[in-house]
Structure 1
Amino acid sequence: MQHKFKYQDIDISEKFSRLIHELEDRGEKEQIQKIEEIDRLMEGMDKEKLDSAFKEQLFSRMDKMIEEKKMSLENTIALLKHMGYWKVLNYSISYDFIYSSLGKRFERLIVEEEKKKEEERNEKFLVDLCECCMMLCDGYVSEELLSICMSCVLQVALRKKEKNEETQKEVEMALLGLSDIRKHYHIDKELYLRRMTEIMKCHHENRNLTKLACQSAWLFLIGRLVFDKCPKSIIVNELHFVGEATRELEELMKCVDWKRKEEEEEDEKRKETKETIILDRWLNLLNFYSLKVQMQNDECNKLTRCIIGLCGAAKGSHRRIFRKCLTFLFHIILHEAESSDCFLCEEAVDFILEEMHQPTINDELLTRGRSVFYHLSRILSRKKEKKNSLTWYVWFAWSWLNGKEKKESEKAKKKMMLFRKVHEKTEEEGYEDIIVSFRKVALGGARVWGFSNDLSNYLILL
């Protein structure tokens, strides 16, 4: 569904509305051509334009066209799948489809088709209906409908393992629909865990999923990990999420043009390639994951190095990617400092310090750098509260009896090592001068909400 976007002489939303209206006056073959034209147009529509276009009136008009036999159900499905594709890719949100007469029609058709005997059921028709609902309903579907749709799309991904383009596209659409299920849904593990594990293991061996299909599968699984208590051991140890994410990022980085200039981003969304969009989606997922799950192993070291490389590449050319990379590094630094396991905190700190030394510092980096060192100083410079002597003796006795004393001592040593390294590094790099400089120039000495104006609150103090 990727096409080179051609700029339009008239407002893109107006043209979208006109093309939808023109479907009513066309025959079957002409409608197919118009639907392809609408698909090409939607490639240039950003989230806001898609949000405003996908309204109840649009879906009601399409339902009326079916009722009056002005458009076949097959053509309607083709158009809705295109709409769903761009909607999910752009994180567009519309609750109108599920409440429209067309949405109700599709729900009814899904239930009716699923209840047919297996030999009478049209599997492709059922899958198409399910994909439309999953991509356009924002996940807000009934429990019965969700169960049917999940079963259908997972069967597609399980059954079709060939690496030819047509099959991969079918699986991509199925998993893209699955990825749009709202995270707060509780889904029975029996509905997905075994099959999703099999799909991902097959991909590890054969690399049979497209980059978007792979990312969509992980988006679904990580949502389940956090909200359904999907077994962490399967995702972390059996499916190796962090290692796979790193591999995907490294491959995507090779496909992106990092030489374009920031001033060329007048209409950034239109210039994005599919690889850039998928890279952006990966960073959203990794930032969500880093907030919810403590990452503490060698795979995370490699991922963090990859993000540092990506951050450096995106600076000056892809502002949104640069910003999301900084957010990830921010999470890693603070989480590792809190946990005292400090695997790669030093490298991430080094990167931010080095960037803050540049004569033309990016505003986003300035803000993130300030945030990092403000919070890092609160963690590393934090003095331990004095314990009541009786409480301390009880805690010591419990720790000694349970073998915790040595472990706690080792953690304290690790934290002190990190503390000293960061302190020495900030002294070497003249970090205090940076703080004073950006406080005077960028902040103008004014108080910024949520941050202290006291210089010592940004320093790692012995």
Structure 2
Amino acid sequence: MSMQRRTEHPVEKFTELFSELENCSEMEQKQKIEEMNELMNEMNKVEICSVFTNGQLDRLNKMIEERKISLENAIPLLKHMGYCKAMKDFLGTSLCKSSLQERFEKMIVEEKKKKNEKLLVDLCECYISLYESLREALFSICVPCLLKVALNKEESEENQKEVEMALLAMSNIKAYHRVGNGLYLNEMTEILKYHQKNHYLTRLAYQSAWVFLISRWTYDKFLNSNVLNELHFVGEATRELEELMKCADWKRKEEEEERGKETKEELLLLRWLVIIDFYSQKVQIHGEEFVKLTRCIIDLCRAAKGNCREIYRKCYSFFYYYIFRAESFYYSLCEEVADLILEEMHGPTIDNEVTTLNIDAFYDFLRVLRGKREKKNSLTSFILFAWNWLNGKAKEEIEKENQKVMLYRELCEKMEEEGYEDLIVSFYKSVFDLAHFRALSKNPNDYFVYH
């Protein structure tokens, strides 16, 4: 790549090369496509979204139709587009139905009949990784086709890349799509179990297998026992987060940070946090697994501070929804998260989204500790008390309440020492009137610590 091309903006250069494709030889097209794929690797999420437009893909479809580019040349470009979109725009913007998508749908059906497996795999990967609005009728062709690739346990680098792309494409099948468990459950379970024993998948491939499987939960309740009892999702997710944190470069170059360009490790961490969040909405995580996962996310939150605010905000969402509002209240964890929040509130800059979570979380936290969380009805409370008494758990419940009182006092002292109430007043004066804060109470007294 020339020095001139290196200094140009990747989106502008990509657009320029794309416009040149239809007027060059096949060999020149291959060279330009290789360069376009390199440029996509340099783009951040916003830039990637700007090149994934229906107009761009419709134009490519017209080039294929008019034989200005061969399908053989177009597929490497489309596969890499799908790869980058699945990685960098995870659960983000979606493409509407386009003429290229319609071409894929027809060709997938045709190639299934012709039994051209290599082309069928390429078409399925492009189709599923690029689009969100998928024809569920085609899953009976695409899912077994991609699983067949993923089940290849050969450990060569080339095969690992093929397996990774197949599983990454499958991870783009969203939770609202119905995929019959007969199409995937045994095969995906085998892939995950085999990897846990032999470690043959790349990190991205392993994560993508989990993303696909957990996303099926919406329509497949049978997954509950499989995921919890056989595949150990929470433990595996915690281990992966810990290992990725060690590999991540938390001191990124200034120009990368300014452009919002995440490293591969950061993208993997974000994808794990999204699927952990989805899983946590379906299952109440208890015990030591929950403690380890939460402490891992606390460490990740601290590591990402000042380096990757998107990871930082995802961590906060986990704290807010699955600690402060959890039925089972983990006292030591809440204290650790409270320390983290107080650190952020004393920071030199204000992130509106995080500050909203800070203030709202403390309000909910204090409300729980004061024992003012509303009960559904008095009869339910009485029945619960009677059941605990009859089963000898009344003493245990009293000890839990005593723990609450002790933690509340300790937290009040800490918050007084660190000027929590002054912070609330300063936020009230400076940012409470912003539209971002409309969902919060406008009365600062609601957030003060009371003895």
Give structure 2 stretches of 5+ with no counterpart: none
Distance in 2 between residues matched to 1:332 and 1:369, nearest whole Å: 14
> Which residue of the partner structure matches residue 286 of structure 2?
296
Shift of 1:454: 4.5
Shift of 1:343: 6.6
> Which residue of the partner structure matches residue 98 of structure 2?
99
Q: Superposed, which structure 2 residues align to 1:333-372 within 5 Å?
A: 333-336=323-326, 339-342=327-330, 345-352=333-340, 355=343, 358=346, 360=348, 363=351, 366-372=355-361
Distance 1:380 1:393, change over 3 A: closer
Q: Is the 8 A contact 2:207 2:272 kept in 1?
A: yes
Match of 2:272 among 278, 282, 288: 282
Is structure 2 residue 210 aligned with structure 1 residue 218? yes
Shift of 1:190: 1.0
Number of corresponding residues: 442
Shift of 1:169: 0.6
Q: Secondary structure in 1 aligned to 2:286?
A: coil
Match of 1:17 among 15, 18, 24: 15
Taking structure 2 as the reference length, what is the TM-score of the superposition? Answer: 0.87
> Which residue of the partner structure matches residue 235 of structure 1?
227
Give structure 1 stretches of 5+ with no counterpart: none
Shift of 1:39: 0.6
> Which residue of the partner structure matches residue 71 of structure 2?
73
Q: Is the 8 A contact 2:248 2:266 kept in 1?
A: yes
> Which residue of the partner structure matches residue 44 of structure 2?
46
Is structure 2 residue 131 aligned with structure 1 residue 137? yes
Q: Secondary structure in 2 aligned to 1:95?
A: coil
Shift of 1:65: 2.5
> Which residue of the partner structure matches residue 419 of structure 1?
404
Match of 1:452 among 441, 446, 449: 441
Q: Is the 8 A contact 2:217 2:223 kept in 1?
A: yes
1:141-175 deviations in Å (ceiling 9; x for gaps): 222212211111111111x1122211111011001
Distance in 1 between residues matched to 2:392 and 2:186, nearest whole Å: 37
Shift of 1:358: 4.6
Q: Is the 8 A contact 2:5 2:13 kept in 1?
A: no
Distance 1:365 1:105, change over 3 A: closer
Distance 1:395 1:246, change over 3 A: closer
1:92-117 deviations in Å (ceiling 9; x for gaps): 53424x431x322221121112124x
Shift of 1:77: 1.1
Distance 1:262 1:409, change over 3 A: farther
Is structure 2 residue 419 aligned with structure 1 residue 430? no
Match of 1:29 among 27, 30, 35: 27
Distance in 2 between residues matched to 1:333 and 1:268, nearest whole Å: 29
Letter of the structure 2 residue corresponding to residue 416 of structure 1:
E
Letter of the structure 2 residue corresponding to residue 228 of structure 1:
D
Q: Is the 8 A contact 1:333 1:372 kept in 2?
A: no
1:213-238 deviations in Å (ceiling 9; x for gaps): 11111111111124432421211221
> Which residue of the partner structure matches residue 167 of structure 1?
159
Q: Superposed, which structure 2 residues align to 1:249-260 within 5 Å?
A: 249-260=241-252
Distance in 1 between residues matched to 2:404 and 2:449, nearest whole Å: 7
Taking structure 1 as the reference length, what is the TM-score of the superposition? Answer: 0.85
1:11-66 deviations in Å (ceiling 9; x for gaps): 54332222112112222222211111111111233333333333333233323322
1:70-93 deviations in Å (ceiling 9; x for gaps): 222111111110111111112153
Letter of the structure 2 residue corresponding to residue 151 of structure 1:
P
1:327-385 deviations in Å (ceiling 9; x for gaps): 2222232233xx13427533433433552575647546543321211112233331666
> Which residue of the partner structure matches residue 200 of structure 1?
192
Is structure 2 residue 378 aligned with structure 1 residue 380? no
Letter of the structure 2 residue corresponding to residue 68 of structure 1:
E
Distance 1:294 1:253, change over 3 A: same
Distance 1:152 1:374, change over 3 A: same
> Which residue of the partner structure matches residue 155 of structure 1?
148
Distance 1:362 1:409, change over 3 A: farther
> Which residue of the partner structure matches residue 123 of structure 1?
117
Letter of the structure 2 residue corresponding to residue 424 of structure 1:
R
Letter of the structure 2 residue corresponding to residue 345 of structure 1:
L
Shift of 1:302: 1.0
Distance 1:404 1:46, change over 3 A: farther
Distance in 1 between residues matched to 2:381 and 2:102, nearest whole Å: 66
Distance in 1 between residues matched to 2:15 and 2:373, nearest whole Å: 63
> Which residue of the partner structure matches residue 180 of structure 2?
188
